[in-house]
Amino acid sequence: MPFAHKTRVAVLRGGPSSEYEVSLKSGETVLKNLPAKYKPIDVFISRAGVWHVGGMEKKPAEALKHVDVVFVALHGQYGEDGKVQRILEHLGIPFTGSKSFASALAMNKHLTKNALGHLKDKIKFAMHKVFTRDEIKQKGTHEIFRIIPHPSIVKPLTAGSSVGITIVKTFFDLESALNRALEHSDSVIVEEFIEGREVTCGVVDNFRGQKTYPLFPIEIIPKTSFYDYHAKYVSDDTTYICPAKFDESVRQTIQEASKMIHESMGLRHYSRSDFIVHPKRGVYFLEVNTLPGMTSHSLIPKAGLAGGFPLSEFFDHVLTLAVAHK
């Protein structure tokens, strides 16, 4: 019987971002769950951005020299902002996830909302305003506090996994919230905080006969006031309900919005959109994740399993799409 060639998959993990630890775990999940037809290659990227294979430092072109496809298991800066995607596009190597431009667009919360502006009659957005580091110095905390309704939520403009996020209820909370967000990004988005049920919904390309297949929405019930980094990756106290128990019309709104966001922004292979469901005002879009986590706590794996879509099948599916350049 002739020897069957295994598809060589470089799994990129680590990287110079605040989500380094999460990425290591996501990459480990991918490495452990690839079907037998793949040969996994662990490509570790240090916090300094240095690539390694088998413990040896390598330039990206060297690390990927004999690779058929790349599974991008990076998160945050460098991994989700289009930088690593530009490297892979330059090298001409197929990779999972969105291309460089769409990744950069989705990483910036303000640009995302602008890009989806034509959908404002179909998708609700919280009132928000962006401030650069210099504008914060010039305007001062008093003026910024007057601009946005409160309570508000202060976020770094270009970070994921809810790092650097603070809920602001009083004027005295705002200064420390702005400083915290500026530790992760040079600009800050201050957004009206909408009370409600937190929900997320993943989508997958070309699956089960649909161009964009929506997974089950998941309701997230953290013990803290919102689903922050600790609730996502450290605490076991967060409750996940999958499928989320919403009225059929609300479930459809969430799933349709997730599909529209994915398609309108030109995202690829899979993504996950986050929402708040206010009891009277309805479903509000928060942000979209182009490379959502793949750890044991992560939500795409949970939704896939609930829908009879185990991790090994999911990884095989997106790698197949990547190799076919779809």
Catalytic residue among 274, 284, 298, 307: 274
**Preceding peptide of 243 cis, ω within 30°:** yes
Residue 62 is a catalytic residue: no
- Are 149 and 127 spatial neighbours (Cβ–Cβ below 8 Å)? yes
How far is residue 28 from each of residues 159, 260, 292, measured CA to CA in Å? 22, 31, 14
- Which residues touch 228 (CB under 8 Å, ≥6 apart)? 162, 165, 222
Residue 272 is a catalytic residue: yes
Residue 13 is a catalytic residue: no
Catalytic residue among 205, 287, 304, 307: 287
Judged by phi (left if over 0) then psi (alpha if -120 to 50, else beta), residue 222 lies in beta
Q: 234, 199, 205, 240: which is closest to 217 by C-alpha?
A: 199
Catalytic residue among 103, 258, 273, 289: 289
Residue 19 is a catalytic residue: yes
Residue 293 is a catalytic residue: yes
Catalytic residue among 78, 213, 233, 270: 233
β partners of residue 274: 200, 287
**Preceding peptide of 151 cis, ω within 30°:** yes
- Are 260 and 119 spatial neighbours (Cβ–Cβ below 8 Å)? yes
Catalytic residue among 108, 161, 187, 273: 161
Residue 240 is a catalytic residue: no
Catalytic residue among 15, 17, 18, 19: 19
Catalytic residue among 164, 293, 304, 307: 293
> Which residues are designated catalytic?
19, 161, 233, 272, 274, 287, 289, 293
